[in-house]
Amino acid sequence: MCGELEDDGPTDLEQRLFAAFLVHTRLMLNETTRSRHESGSVSAYADRLMGDALNRARRDAEAADADKRQSMFAVQPLVFARLAGFLASHLPLNEDPLRKVMEAMMLGYADAERLGASLAHDHGDGESHHH
């Protein structure tokens, strides 16, 4: 009826955000794959674990029905935050686990911004284009 909002599936904004997630995920997975060659290091382990978790999140979101994708996609960071809190709660307090978790979350935000910026570049015509 007139004036009512209908839920016809994902909005254009949701579709664009999900498409950006897929592009950034591919770039991030490429970066973590390159660093996996440092086998045995804690850093390489962390990159493998990050890549595995990110790949799982991507696969699950892509496999979801389009009308359910956004709600599933929206819960993923909450699940990972809960898992981070659970794991961090088992570390000694002198390790300052909450600070490390918060710093890691902010690093994730910075990674997404960095990857987004790397996709936008100037073609010399004075305009910025996204790919």
In a domain, 44, yes or no: yes
- CA–CA separation, 58 and 28 (whole Å): 12
In a domain, 53, yes or no: yes
In a domain, 123, yes or no: no
**Total of domains in the chain:** 1
pLDDT band at 43 (very low <50, low <70, confident <90, very high): confident
In a domain, 131, yes or no: no
pLDDT given for residue 37 in this prediction: 62
In a domain, 113, yes or no: yes
pLDDT band at 6 (very low <50, low <70, confident <90, very high): low
For residue 72, give the 3-state DSSP assignment: helix
- CA–CA separation, 108 and 111 (whole Å): 5
Domain extent, residue 100, equals 14-118
Cβ 57 vs Cβ 5: under 8 Å: no
Which whole number is the average pLDDT over 11-34? 87
For all residues of the chain together, what is the average pLDDT? 82
Q: Does the model's pTM come out above 0.75?
A: no
Which whole number is the average pLDDT over 107-131? 68
